[in-house]
């Protein structure tokens, strides 16, 4: 058959085989136009209207309150310029139920190039749209849940850990001043210190788990975080006569509560493993390595760590052999490495016995 001789009936029967809904209107964009001149079977099934109910009427027949008016204005403007258009909005079936429709509209031009008709190919994307909306609601609920977990972490840290730090500091002072005179009863102080350490480690474990759920590193000014940690440890630091020197620090991408825990751990370790023959001095400094990275150093003049133990001290439950006379669980630095790793950073230590230790944190720059 000569395709140039196809009549409208043949074209109509061909378009009725399409799974996509097809609608053709005239090119009159002035209300009450454009008017529908053809709809295929898929369009009738999608809208619930018959061809007889639609032909001669405006496509506005299937629009309603939920239809995006701004999108329709953009559509009209594009068609007025003789351009094609792609869009998605909410339309209404004959029974007033809504459905989500995605469409592509293009002009059909006459011999002079002027738009004579507009053909619209449409798809019912209600299932996809509802799935996307459900996913968005789930994401919002998850963000709210994660926020509540982070708030709980803050409560645990401030309301539980801070008093424990003070208790431990006073126990250390009590042991330092009166331990030798207590004889065998000094072990009671040691047991109490061990108990506070275990409780702090458990709190940190809870914070670690909470921090892993949906937490996203944020722009963090390190200076107030360091100030807060030093303030928390002030009693302990003053009790051993420690000097803390802090440079102005750059901002990084990290989690505020976890950064507080990381620095709290490093400074507490400096106190715990201080050298017995010299006053403790702690230095905190940082600089931007390049646009993407910041290096932060926490150094002390304490006992130091043998090179063979530099990696082992970051493993859970592992401690340096030279620190065997100091109470500890060996969990603090494993937490530090895990936290820094979650932010996309890393930690290393430079140290030798009797020469202090410097912990280098390489962190994403803000």
Q: In which band, very low, low, confident or very high, does the pLDDT at 145 lie, cut at 50, 70 and 90?
A: confident
Instruction: Provide the domain limits for residue 213.
Output: 132-364
Interval 47-78: pLDDT, tens: 999 999 999 999 999 999 999 999 999 999 99
Q: pLDDT tens digit string along 233-288?
A: 999 999 999 999 999 999 999 988 889 989 999 999 999 999 999 999 999 999 99
Q: How far apart are CA 342 and CA 258, in angstroms?
A: 10
Residues 269 and 199 in one domain: yes
Same domain, yes or no: 141 and 279: yes
Looking at the structure, do residues 149 and 115 belong to the same domain, yes or no? Answer: no
Closest of 344, 277, 351 to residue 307, by C-alpha: 351
For the chain, what percent of residues have pLDDT higher than 90?
58
Q: Which residue has the higher pLDDT, 263 or 209?
A: 263
Confidence band, pLDDT 50/70/90 cuts, at residue 1? very low
Are 255 and 281 contained in the same domain? yes
Enter the pTM of the model: 0.48
Which of 99, 124, 149 finishes a domain?
A: 124
**Average pLDDT in the 112-141 region?**
92
Question: Last residue of a domain, which of 80, 108, 124?
Answer: 124
Residue 4 has pLDDT above 50, yes or no: no
Q: Which residues of 254-268 are buried (b: 16+ CB within 10 A; e: fewer)?
A: bbbbbbbbbbbbbbb
Number of domains in the chain: 2
pLDDT band at 5 (very low <50, low <70, confident <90, very high): very low
Task: Specify the pLDDT at position 215.
Answer: 66
């Amino acid at each position: 058959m000569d395709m140039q001789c196809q009549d409208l009936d043949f074209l109509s029967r061909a378009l009725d085989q399409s799974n996509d809904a097809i609608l053709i209107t005239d090119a009159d964009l002035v209300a009450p136009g454009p008017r529908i001149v053809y709809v295929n079977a898929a369009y009738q099934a999608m809208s619930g209207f018959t061809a007889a109910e639609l032909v001669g009427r405006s496509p506005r027949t299937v629009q309603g309150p939920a239809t995006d008016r701004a999108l329709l204005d953009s559509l009209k403007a594009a068609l007025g310029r003789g351009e094609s258009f792609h869009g998605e909005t909410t339309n209404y079936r004959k029974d007033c139920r809504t459905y989500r429709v995605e469409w592509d509209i293009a002009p059909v031009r006459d011999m002079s190039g002027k738009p004579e008709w507009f053909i619209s190919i449409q798809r019912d994307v209600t299932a996809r749209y509802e799935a996307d909306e459900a996913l968005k609601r789930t994401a919002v609920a998850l963000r709210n849940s994660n926020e509540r977990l982070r708030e709980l972490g803050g409560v645990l840290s401030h309301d539980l850990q801070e008093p424990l730090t003070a208790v431990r500091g006073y126990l250390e002072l009590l042991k330092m001043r009166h331990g030798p005179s207590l004889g065998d009863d000094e072990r009671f102080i040691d047991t109490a210190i061990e108990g506070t350490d275990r409780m702090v480690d458990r709190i940190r474990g809870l914070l670690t788990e909470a921090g892993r759920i949906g937490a996203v590193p944020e722009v963090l000014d390190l200076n107030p975080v360091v100030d807060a940690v030093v303030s928390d440890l002030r009693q302990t630091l003053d009790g051993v006569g420690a000097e803390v020197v802090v440079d102005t620090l750059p901002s990084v991408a990290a989690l505020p509560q976890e950064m507080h825990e990381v620095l709290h751990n490093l400074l507490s370790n400096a106190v715990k493993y201080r050298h017995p023959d010299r006053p403790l001095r702690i230095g905190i400094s940082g600089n931007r390595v390049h646009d993407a990275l910041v290096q932060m150093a926490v150094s002390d003049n304490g006992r130091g760590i043998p090179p063979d133990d530099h990696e082992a001290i970051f493993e859970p439950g592992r401690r340096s052999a030279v620190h065997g006379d100091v109470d500890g669980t060996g969990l603090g630095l494993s937490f530090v490495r895990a936290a820094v790793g979650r932010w996309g950073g890393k930690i290393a230590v430079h140290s030798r016995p009797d020469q202090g230790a410097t912990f280098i944190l390489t962190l994403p720059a803000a």
